[in-house]
Amino acid sequence: MGMPIIEGYVVERLIKEGGFGSVYLVKRMLDKKTYAIKILHPKINLQAKARAQFAKEISLLSSLSHPYIVKVFGPVKDAPRAAMLMEYFESETLKELLVRKAPLLEEKGVGVFRRICEALKYLHECKIVHKDIKPENILVAANGEVRLIDFSIAEEINFWATLRTILQMRKRDGTPLYMSPEQVKKETVDGRSDIYSLGAAFYQVFGGRPHITAGSEKALLQQHLKAVVPKMRNFNKKVPHQLDAIVMRMLQKHKEERYQSMSEVLFDLNRYTSEDRIGKASEDTTERVGKATEDTAEESKAAKVEESKAKK
C-alpha cells in the first residue's frame, strides 16, 4: 500500500500499520508544523459501522484535554478515506520498550505508571472507560513523558451502556491478556475495569512476565476469572513490597475488592514513592554519617601518630 495523497499535507513516512488503519507522519502546509494522521484502510473504510466507530473516536478524543492523552484536533476533511489529525509524539510503545528492557522498574517504570494513572483519573472523571489498556497503547518518550492512545473501543458511562447489558447486546471487546473479569463476562464496565487492565499491564512491566498464562484464548479468558495470581516478587525480587501490594489489589477478580477509583490508586502510589524517597534519603544520610565517622577516626589516629613522633 503506497503513501496516501492528502490535500494540504506532505506525507513524509509511515509511523505505524494497524489492523484498523495506518498512522503517517505529515507536515501541514498551512503552518509548516509536524502532525500525525491516522487513516482507515480501504477495506475498513467501506464498512459503515467502522466509519461510524471511527467518527465516534474522533469526536470523543477531540473533546479531551490532558497532557498524558494523545491530542486529536479533528477529522481530516480532504483525505481519500476517513482520517483524523493528531499531535505527533516522538516515542516508542511501552511494549517495544519492554522488549529491550523488561522488567522496567526504577524511576522510569514507576514514572510511566503514575502518569498513566493520572490520565485514567481524568478520563474516568469525564465518564469514559478506555477498555483497552495495554503496553501497546501507551507511548513512552526518551524523557519519560507518555501518551495514552487508541480509544477505538472506549465507552461513555451512561444509561445506554447499561441498557446494552440488560438487553444482552454487549459484545466482548478488548485484548484477551488484559481484559477485566467484567469484560470477559460481558458485563457493564466502569473505571474499575480499566484499573484491572492497568494492573495487568504493569504487572508485566514490573514483574517481567504476564500475570496469567494459558495455551489458548478461551483458557486465557478463564484465567481472569479463576487463576490465583502470584505476587510480582516471586519473579522479580527488586519489586518493593508496597508496589507489589498496589498492583495485586488492582488485579482483584471482584471489582468491589479492587481500588474503587484511580484517586485511590494514586494516593497509595504517592505514599509509596514518598516513603521510598525518605528511605533512600535515610540510607544516603546513614552512609554519609558513617563515612564522616570513618574519616574522623582516621584523622584522630593520624594525629596521635604524629603526636607520638613529636614526643620521641
Name the residues annotated as catalytic: 132
Residue from 90, 91, 134 nearest 116 by CA: 134
What phi and psi values does residue 35 have, to the nearest 5 degrees?
Answer: -140, 180
**Separation of alpha carbons 276 and 128, rounded Å:** 32
Q: Is the peptide bond before 42 cis (omega within 30 degrees of 0)?
A: no
In degrees, to the nearest 5, what angle opens at C-alpha 37 toward C-alphas 32 and 38? 180
**Separation of alpha carbons 201 and 248, rounded Å:** 12
